[in-house]
Every structure is written in C-alpha cells, then in structure tokens.
Amino acid sequence: TGRTEQSLFCTTASFPGCVFSVSGDLLVLTVATQETDGFRRFLRSAKHFNYTIKVLGRGETWRGGDYMSPPGGGQKVRLLKSALEDIQDENRVILFVDSYDVIFSSGPRELLKKFQQAKHRVVFSAETLIWPDRHLEDKHPHVREGKRFLGAGGFIGYAPNLKKMLSDWSGADSDSDQLHFTKIYINPEKRKSINITLDNKCRLFQNLHGALDEVVLKFEDGRVRARNVLYDTLPVIIHGNGPTKLQINYLGNYIPNLWTFETGCTICNENLRPLSGLQESEYPVVVIGIFIQQPTPFVTVFFERLLNLKYPKNRLQLFIYNQESHHEPHVRTFLEYHESEYQGVKLIGPEEDIDPVTSRNIGFDMCRDNIDCEYFFSVDVDVVLKNEDTLRILIELNKPFIAPMMTKPGLLWTNFWGALSADGYYARSEDYVDIVQGHRVGLWNVPYISHIFLTKADALRTDLKDPDLFESATLDPDMAFCSKVRNKGVFMFVTNVHTYGRVLSTENYQTNHLHNDLWQVFENPVEWEERYIHENYSKVLKDGFIETPCPDVYWFPVFTDVACKHLIEEMEHFGQWSGGGNTDNRIQGGYENVPTIDIHMNQVGYEKEWQKFLLDYAAPVTEKMYPGYYTRAQFDLAFVVRYKPDEQPALRPHHDASTFTINIALNQVGIDYQGGGCRFLRYNCSVNAPRRGWALMHPGRLTHYHEGLPTVQGVRYIVVSFVDP
C-alpha cells in the first residue's frame, strides 16, 4: 500500500487482494466479497481515472446484511480497521467507499483538491434522509445550506484520523456501520477531536437516495458527469445507496464516458469473446429455449428463421415448450425434417399440461444440468429473428445477461423498459426514445427485458439458481424474473448496435382458418408483406419493373409462391365452390351474365383484408400506369376462380363490370396445368403463359373485351378483382 505500488487492474484472475495504483498519496479501500457486475463497473470507472484501489474481504462470506433491512455493514468497519493497521504514513489519504453501487465520475486530482478545500481531516458523504435511527435527528448539527445527515457509504480522511475514528469499534459484522459513524459525528467532542465534517453540498460525494430529482447527466466536451442541480456541483463519486440501484444503473450507462455524443459507445468492443476462427467443435454449446404460450402468427416463419441462424447446429440443443394445440403441426413438421441436425431436442407439448413458469425452469435446468452448456438463449415464438448473426453477436459481447433490442414496427414499443415506476411497472427513461430510434447506440443496463435474452450458464448455476425466479405475490412472472435478476446483482443489458428483428402483435390472432397468417395484413403488416408480397414488387414503382404484353395491359409481380399456395389451399379447404350457373344469390340482383366456378372473398371473411391489399399494392400501380386516375380500391367483386377441363375449362368473351380488373395467377402453367391464359380480342393479343404471383391489370369496360383460354390439363387458379374508384 506504499506510494510506489505498481499499476494492476483488478481482473477476474487477479481479484484476490487486487490493487492498482498511479495516484500517489490517495488510496481507495473498498469491500467486495463477490465479483458482481456492479463491482466490475466500479473497477472500470476507477481504472478510467487511475485510482489506487485495494479490495478488502476477498473470500469472506458476507454477514453485513443488506440495504433494505437494518442494521448491517459492521463487517466493512472490521475490514477497514484491520487494513488501516498496516498503513504507517501519516500523510496518506484514504477514501473508503462501497463498490457494488458506486461509480467514479472524475479523478483523484479533483477529489484531493476538493477534500483539501473542505479544511477538515475527515469528510463524510451527506444525505437528506436520516438512517437508521430517526430519533437522533435533533442531535445532528444544523447547517445553513445543504444536507445535514451523515452517509456511511463514502468518506475520505487522513489515515491517523480514520484509525482514531475506528479505535473503539468492537461490534459484530451485522451491526450498523451507519449508526456507529453517526454516533461519533453527533458527539461534539469526538467530532472535533477527529475533525469530521460532512460534504453538505455534494462536491465530493453524491448519495442518490432522497436526491433523485437533484441529479442530471451533464454532457460537455466529450465527457459525461453527474451534476447536482440543487447546489450546482459536480460530485466526484456517485453512490446508488438504498433503493436507488436503478438510477445508478442508468447513470452508469454514461459515466464515466461509456457513451458520449462525440464518441458513441466506448465499451461495445471491450472484453469481447470472438468466435471467428473457431472450429465448429469449439463453439460454445447453447440451449435455445423456445416458448409457445399463445396462438401466434407466422410460427412457420419463426422456425425458418431459427434454421437460418448462423451457428453450428451440432452445438445447439433445443428446448421447445408448446402450450397451443393449434401449433402442434408446425412444431411437428419442423422436428420431422430438422431434429436430427441439432445436438439434442426436448419437447413439452400441450398434452403434458405444464404451466409456463414451470416450463421456464425446466428449460433453465436443461442447461444447468449439462456440464457442456455455456449459454441459455430464451426466445418467445412471437420474436422475429431477422438478423441471422444474432446469437453470435450476443455471445461475442460476453455479458452474463444480454438481449438484442426488438421493436414493433411503427411503435415505440420494445422488449425492454428504460425505467420502472414505484410499483414495479413500466416507466419511460429520459433516453428511451433516443435508444429506440437509434439516436443513441450502445450497450444499456436496463431494469426489464422480455421475449428474448441470452444468459450465461454460470449465472444460472450460481446467482440465478433459485427455483422461484418467476414467482411473486404482486408481479407477473416476467417482471418477477427481472426483479430477481436485478436483486441478485446481475446486470441486464440490451444492445441496439445492430438491427436484430421485431416482435409480433398477437392480440387479435384468430385460428379458425387453415392459413390464419393471411389475415394478418392489419396486425402485422411488415411480416405479412415479407411473407406474401413478391420480392420484386418494390421495383415495380421504383424501377418500372413492369411489362405491357398488350395495349393498356400491365403485368407485374405481386404475390410470393407462398401467398399463391395459401390462397389456393384456403379456398379448397373452404370448399364451397359455386356451380358456375347464371343464377348466383351471392351478388346483387342474383344473376351472373358470365359465371365462373369460384369462391368470393366475403365467403371466407377476407373482404377487408383484400381491400387493404388492393389499396396498398394495386392502387399505387394503377395511379402510376393510368396517370390522373386515383382509386380508393373499392371492389365490387373479388373471387378465386378454378378452371378444370372436366368442370369449366374456359370463359367466353366478355367485358368486366369494373373500371379496371386485376387478375393474379395462383399456380404455374406447364407444371400445375396446361393451356389457359387470357386473350384480348380487340387487339388479338394473348397472355398465354401467366406467371405465378404476377398480376394482369387492364380496363374492365369498353375497350378490353377478353376471354379465358381453355385449360386442357390439370387445375388452374386465378384471383380476380373488379375495382372501381
């Protein structure tokens, strides 16, 4: 502990008795019996400013209580008293602070200067609230301005004075350090003899308990500090004492210089675990927990994206919990084709009647009990994993608990909360909108994460080993889980450095159709478009990716193969095809001049969704190709037509009862059927090889007299819309 100590940063390997130094007369003593995320944060801030740190209590069991239930802290006093016995230099200045909830916001030079300006031999941090004995309030000296009560979480003084202050300590580890120091301070003789004062205006120390409204972040010249706006001071040491752990976590996302407007994130590339260059057999084993707890759209797509993760499947084990009978075919199909690709699979189906909380614990145990498992990757089935590198990125960030930021398109909703209300529910942090919108990019310690996260197996086996992680008398299971994780001292990080994906809306998902995802055009329009709209559709408007096979007839891609397949199967599943006669009670007047074998969209409850499709994807093309014409995509009729050689192979020449008609081919000529097509008689022009998913758009009345050419083999399906302004 002399002035010539060499610099040594306290890493995991060097944690026993660790010391690092460059700062001369100042020595920082702290107590840490465990290496927690908060302790690592403390050390990082100390290293940033080159403080001399010595850690006390290594290897001891903590018996000093906790901040919620006094008394406690006596163990710290015992350890400090013992450490001071080895310091003989009378000019040595000792700073004693907590570590798990403390960060430095400036360096030793400023701290020593402010200490000297206090003109006392010992300076304690000050608080607005008295604790743990309110009956001692009147015994505290009055101050003209500032905080009146002593805080034991931080004090600075010369070694001889501190020794004198601790000389009569003989308490138990569970006794109150705060009460011990308070009684010394309120004793006028002892206060004068030791020469103690309080840092009333938070020039050295900022205790957050009772002072949250006083403290703001100060960004200036590439630095971040905490500013006390009540006293206009810049405290050197920030202490999240008492129930202010969330606020110190928030401040610790920035101080000291973890994120600035000039540099962005400065810690995003620290302590990484790179996977590049590893052989497949060297990749960490990960258990992926997949949780299906309610009817959810696009489950098939979820499993497709799972397959596309860029990670060796023989290093992945799957735990699948499915509570919904509706999704059994989706799970079964996935496992039928791909189970053998993974290292192992455990499935819990609806017939086992296991509740969701128990399923989470079973999933954790699958990782805990496997000595080779290094990570548990929890993913709810309503997560859309767009980024195929998500798992690799999270592992490389090397945090005990981390989540990728997920959003809902067009909303400020995400899978994390920036703050909590007093009753433990959602509250918006000051930086939440900037993080969600990507104006601040980095790693963020947050109080709540849901839907998707990666946690280290070591954390599950130690800090997070309790079986009641999801249980609470007042909180939902997800909130209870996050509360337990926080209380165990495990930081929950969310990263928005990359774009990872989104979370689906499940509120209005119905399961009464064959392909229920077709109905998701309102609730999940982005996912619906990716699933059902042709990949080249965007080129139609942007690049003129459109053909004119006949005069005023436009041909462009609009549907994916999946959309075509689902529409056909949905109609065949419904099965109530018209008879093809002129009498048709489904239409106004009950008479069809040019009948087809068809099913109308309103028969399957798809008229609103179909109008949305026409408005979003057909109307823009109409307005581009027929300048000056604007439509609200109101359709008189929309229906799927079936042509079969032995049923109705063709359609006689006719005009459509529409301003314009959209005709989309749903299957493939030459594969699904032979023949077919559309001929425009006025121009003697035919489209003989309609492409699956492509739309023919043409005027309906007056000019484009047309016929459906014979289907000679197989079955041909088209979907037709008669559209008016």
Catalytic residues: 716
Q: Say if CB 64 and CB 130 are below 8 A apart.
A: no
Token representation of residue 94: 């000792």
* Contact predicate 2/34, CB 8 Å: no
By the 10 Å C-beta count (0-12 exposed, 13-18 middle, 19+ buried), 469 is classed as buried
Between CA 259 and CA 419 the distance in angstroms is 18
Closest alpha carbon to 40 in 12, 63, 13 = 12
Assigned token pair, 243: 């129930």
Indicate the angle between helix axes 74-84 and 159-166, nearest 10 degrees.
130
Prior bond of 653 cis (ω within 30°): no
Eight-state DSSP code of residue 407: B
Amino acid at 50: N
- Whether 379 contacts 453, CB under 8 Å: no
Residue 404 makes CB contacts below 8 A (sequence gap 6+) with 387, 390, 393, 394, 452, 494, 495, 498, 500, 501
**Residue 667 falls in which region: left (phi positive, over 0), alpha (psi -120 to 50) or beta:** beta
Instruction: Look at the alpha carbons of 491, 492, 496, 500 in this order and tell me if their dihedral is positive or negative.
Output: positive
Quote the DSSP letter at residue 614.
Answer: I
Q: How many CA atoms lie within 13 A of 466 on its CB side?
A: 11
Half-sphere exposure of 573 (CA within 13 A, CB side): 12
Residues 6+ apart with CB under 8 A from 448: 416, 417, 420, 426, 478, 479, 482, 492
Q: How long is the chain?
A: 725
Distance (Å) of CA 379 to CA 114, 138, 275, 471, 496: 50, 56, 21, 20, 17
The two three-digit tokens of residue 649, written as one number: 């192979």
Cα 408 off chain centre by: 11
The pair of three-digit structure tokens given for residue 480, joined into one six-digit string: 């209870």
Dist CA 281 CA 702 (whole Å): 69
Listed in order, strand segments (DSSP E) in 316-363 are: 316-322, 344-348
Q: What gap in Å lies between CA 209 and CA 205, rounded to an integer?
A: 12
| 397, 272 Cβ separation under 8 angstroms | yes
Provide the b/e sequence for 583-603 (b: ≥16 CB within 10 Å): ebeeeeeeebeebbbbbbbeb
**Whole-angstrom Cα distance, residue 230 to residue 216?**
10
Other CB atoms within 10 Å distance of the CB of residue 382: 24
Structure tokens at 97: 């602070």
How many whole angstroms separate alpha carbon 402 and alpha carbon 609? 38
- Asked whether 476 and 423 are in contact (CB, 8 A), the reply is no
Task: Report how far apart the first and last C-alpha atoms of the chain are (Å, whole number).
Answer: 86
Amino acid at 367: C
418, 473 in Cβ contact below 8 A?
A: no
Q: How far apart are CA 492 and CA 456, in angstroms?
A: 12
